[in-house]
Structure 1
Amino acid sequence: MIAQGFTPKLLTVWREGYSLATFRADTLAGLTVAIVALPLAMALGIASGASPDKGLVTAVVAGFLISMLGGSRVQVGGPTGAFVVVIFNVIASHGYDGLLIATLLAGLILIAAGLLRLGQMIKYIPHPVVTGFTAGIAVIIASSQVKDFLGLTIENVPADFLAKWQAYLGALGSIDGATVGIGVAALAIIVGLRRAAPRLPGFLIAVVATSAAVALFHLPVDTVGSRFPDMPVGLPMPSFPELSLAKVNAVLPSAFTIAFLAGIEALLSAVVADGMAGTRHRSNQELIGQGVANLGSAFFGGLPATGAIARTATNIRSGAKTPVAGMMHAVFLLLFILFAGRLMAYVPMAALAAILFMVAWGMSEYQRFLALLKMPNSDRAVLLLTFGLTVLVDLTVAIAVGVTLASLLFMARMAEAVEVRRGGDRDAELDKEDLDQRDDLPKGVEVFRIAGPLFFGVAGELLDTLRRLGAPPRVIILRMRLVPLLDASGAQAIEEFARQARIAGAHVILSGVQPQPRAMLERIGLGEAAGKISYAADYASAQALGIELAGLDDAARH
């Protein structure tokens, strides 16, 4: 008997019953995602310092296994931008065999993490750290594509960020007009279609259009075929990389970094998927699925893989119902490779650079980055330090320093929030707390009391609470008088809670909010004047407002 927490969602779906109509919906969603993933996998393979076929192999093998064995109904996996920096450095230092060994080890680490039930550990990564290193990776990815986008003549592009830009500035005189034209055209197509026809596969259309232009007009630009003349077509035979204790020791730190990134991005993507589709993922099983997928990818000579937020969102919007959609996405990609692999040689490198610019822009989450800059100095320091270390030093160092600093700052803020009272003093207001707080509430009004600081370690409980409600009420009261401290992650959790409640048609009322949490909520646009949520001075006022709002809803429905 498999424990519920370690049951792949595919098996759950199969037990529930799988209809032909569901298969049709999953197949259509899988085809849509495959069309999006095809040029993206090629671009990420090249950006990682490998080749486009490596990205495609990863998308096929790992994408299939992640959906088949993962803990999410609609997660789609494959190569992602988060790995680009790490993969590039591992290949440069230890060769491609070293990367395969690191990917194998990362897979084993992920499986062990899942079996040890570490899937919930993601909630302890502070929001400014995640945003900081994600934005830093975005800057690095965009910087790595400047040469191909402008057609610069540089023999060897330095790996260091500052040295790289120094080389770019020194080679500005070699900009190629045809290459820039192709890159700008691809970028314009992608951006234009996102605004005018967002359902169309902008990446693929941009690649096809620019490839056709290069072929028809014989433009002298660098293409996949000219850069990788010996690129194989199809899936390679599985093989085991040559292991040695020295190589394992050399790549072990990189393996932990890959496993950490894979786990973080996969679970973040699963949380996003839950919010969009109204599902609930199994975090430990998701880690196990990710681990097996990375083992499979390494056996076929692929890259590290994880859940991909953009492809998962596309999957959901395209009508995916079950993990079969992600498996079909991998099947369609394999068919594309087998029957249209030779055509990939005509794809211009500048078009792939344009795709990666858009990937970097999406990863940057600039709106969230700017919102965090409005937070107190402590959160802002964690964000900027993590971002700076990611870009200028090393991703592993950035995460370690960011988490350590966030923890120390949190302890300092907790010390400031402690109030020392005389032993005989009692809190008269606490004595009046109604332990049966739901007794006087009408149908359609729900209430929850939050006690203690709402910080990055417990923020996720809010969203779990909303999901556990099933059919949402018309009004939700959050009693916050006992919350002395709210950090950036806690504020973001309340914002997401309020957003999902609004989507479900529920009003959110906050009662008894203390000054520090109120100030934090105002910083992210959730103040009383914004009108997104309601505030009440105490619980009695919140009850009266809740009854009024529930009554208004009833009146509106009749």
Structure 2
Amino acid sequence: MISLSTYRREWFSSIRADLLSGIVVALALIPEAIGFSVIAGVDPKVGLFASFAIACVSAITGGRPGMISAATAATAVLMVTLVKEHGLQYLFAATLLMGLLQILAGLARLGRVMRFVSKSVMTGFVNALAILIFMAQLPELIGVPVATYVMIAAGLAIIYLFPYVTKAIPSPLVAIVVLTGLSIGFGMDLRTVGDLGELPSSLPIFALPQVPLTFETLQIIFPYSAALAAVGLLESLLTARIVDDMTDTTSSKSQECIGQGASNIASGLIGGMGGCAMIGQSVINISSGGRGRLSTFVAGTFLLFLILVLDDVVKIIPMAALVAVMIMVSIGTFSWRSIPDLRRNPLPSSIVMLATVITVVATHDLSLGVLAGVLLSGIFFAGKVAKLFHVRSTLSEDGGHRIYRIDGEIFFASTEGFIAAFDFAEPVKAVTLDVSRAHLWDISAVGALDQVVLKFRRHNILVDVIGLNEASSSMIDRYALHDKEHASLSAAAH
């Protein structure tokens, strides 16, 4: 639970920087929100209202100050079929259920699962996202007038050089203002924000989705809501970790789950789509000096102000200015150090990173890439731990008793080597299995020990298992068969 003093500091510790960075983010959110609305097959106002609601509510209820949440491509692609087959009202209902599921995940403290995401997966996630951000700008770079390239180059020059003059004003904001002024002053025929779609002209209206409150409705929306909730939380928690690293601070992942859920419920109630954290806009915010909750709140409120009050000004902003900002984000997001690290890091780590990047870029699905990376990490880790296992043995002077000393972890990946380490045909009268320096982790380990003991007994060799620790002994008592077989044979003999 966040203390009141901490919460107050997260709001008001850097007011000026948060205000300016929030304005920059709001400008960058407009084309993104409109574009994601197009992907989902809905009116631009659905994405714009969603971005407003999600940003403002997550600023209040989220667990990661300075992180930007809004309508995103990751969630938009999951909505297409629902909107096409059942209509917009079912999308709003699915968004409400999505939010509820995310709140339940937060209360269940599912944010802790992020500890299973390795550094290699994180690096792959960041690099893939940087590539996707750049690829998303390609439509604005292909088949356009030469003036567009000149404006983008000028925008990048301002973004990277203006901080040498002063850091009091975020350079991306300066770039947007200057390029808009140049475009109007020289009468350039460039693609503008207004060309993306019609901006809303009135405030959003609070209303419940107009769908039947029946079990059939639940059957329709639940699969979509579950997928949206999972993808939204995955991207949000990964982005939160990245912002943690960028700011050298920590955040509450479980509270972030609750915050994302509350944000999506608010979005659904005002006619918005579901969303989650956005790494690109979060990087813009952090790079522009935004660190507190105020920056996220300003991004949402100023976005609404822009589209309702300053819509005539927003419409004339050249897309070249926003493309320059997003290219800066792409460059800043990519982990350039990871390229030389490919040769320095262990091969499995490099494979995991590359697999994550390739999967995300090929499918445009961040969750699939992270899933592939986590699975590969698990496989490589299991293989590495399995190799640490070994068995040593000594034979008594009379040749009738062999002692096997087992070291390491016995689990599903090491059971084959465990069984192969014993000579069941050796002409001895008794064997002792000393597992005092080993640990049985799962049912597969218990089954392997069963198999070894029973094989020895079939060869009329007495077996004694010693040194079981408390956890391993508990598993043996519950699941092992060799003790039960031994007990039944003893009873039959009597």
Q: Residue 465 of structure 2 aligns with which residue?
A: none
- Match among 86, 104, 116 for residue 124 of structure 1: 116
For the residues of structure 1 that align with 2:208 and 2:153, how far apart are their CA atoms? 42
Flag structure 1 segments of 5+ consecutive residues without an equivalent: 1-6, 153-174, 428-451, 453-558
**Matching residue's letter, 1:87:** A
Deviations 1:178-202 (A, max 9, x none): 2222222222222323555455322
Q: Give yes or no for the alignment of 1:237 onto 2:209.
A: no
Compute the TM-score of the two structures, normalised by the length of structure 2: 0.67
- Match among 312, 326, 329 for residue 359 of structure 1: 329
Query: Per-residue deviation at 1:31?
Result: 0.9
For the residues of structure 2 that align with 1:266 and 1:339, how far apart are their CA atoms? 31
- Range that drifts further, 25-34 or 375-384: 25-34
Deviations 1:215-242 (A, max 9, x none): 22221111112332x2114642234445
**Matching residue's letter, 1:206:** A
Deviations 1:92-138 (A, max 9, x none): 88458376555444322321211111121101012222222332232
Alignment of 1:416-455 (within 5 A): 416-421=387-392
- Range that drifts further, 326-335 or 404-413: 326-335
- Range that drifts further, 132-141 or 399-408: 132-141
Q: Give yes or no for the alignment of 1:45 onto 2:33.
A: yes
C-alpha spacing 1:101/1:33, structure 2 compared with 1 (3 Å): farther
Confirm or deny: 8 A CA contact 2:103 2:258 kept in the other structure: yes
Cα root mean square deviation, aligned? 3.6
Confirm or deny: 8 A CA contact 2:98 2:226 kept in the other structure: no
Alignment of 1:387-466 (within 5 A): 387-395=357-365, 396-421=367-392
C-alpha spacing 1:65/1:421, structure 2 compared with 1 (3 Å): farther
Answer with 1 or 2: which has the greater Rg.
Answer: 2
Deviations 1:310-336 (A, max 9, x none): 256358x5675xx45644554455445
**Matching residue's letter, 2:73:** V
- Match among 76, 95, 99 for residue 67 of structure 2: 76
Deviations 1:429-453 (A, max 9, x none): xxxxxxxxxxxxxxxxxxxxxxx9x
Alignment of 1:252-331 (within 5 A): 252=225, 254-269=227-242, 271-272=244-245, 276-277=248-249, 280-300=250-270, 301-302=272-273, 304-306=275-277, 309-310=282-283, 313=286, 317=289, 320=292, 323=293, 326-328=296-298, 330-331=300-301
- Match among 125, 134, 140 for residue 133 of structure 1: 125
Deviations 1:1-28 (A, max 9, x none): xxxxxx3x3xx225x7969xx9764532
Q: Give yes or no for the alignment of 1:213 onto 2:204.
A: no
Query: Per-residue deviation at 1:409?
Result: 0.9
Q: Residue 76 of structure 2 aligns with which residue?
A: 87
Query: Per-residue deviation at 1:70?
Result: 2.3
SS in 1 for 2:174: helix
Q: Residue 13 of structure 1 aligns with which residue?
A: 4
C-alpha spacing 1:223/1:371, structure 2 compared with 1 (3 Å): same
For the residues of structure 1 that align with 2:172 and 2:240, how far apart are their CA atoms? 26
Confirm or deny: 8 A CA contact 1:270 1:307 kept in the other structure: no
Paired residue total: 384
C-alpha spacing 1:318/1:254, structure 2 compared with 1 (3 Å): closer
C-alpha spacing 1:246/1:132, structure 2 compared with 1 (3 Å): same
Confirm or deny: 8 A CA contact 1:38 1:56 kept in the other structure: no
- Match among 92, 96, 99 for residue 107 of structure 1: 99
**Matching residue's letter, 2:245:** V
- Match among 153, 168, 174 for residue 184 of structure 1: 153
For the residues of structure 2 that align with 1:58 and 1:113, how far apart are their CA atoms? 21
Q: Give yes or no for the alignment of 1:30 onto 2:22.
A: no
Q: Residue 385 of structure 1 aligns with which residue?
A: 355
**Matching residue's letter, 1:260:** L
Q: Residue 506 of structure 1 aligns with which residue?
A: none
**Matching residue's letter, 1:222:** R
- Match among 58, 63, 77 for residue 66 of structure 1: 58
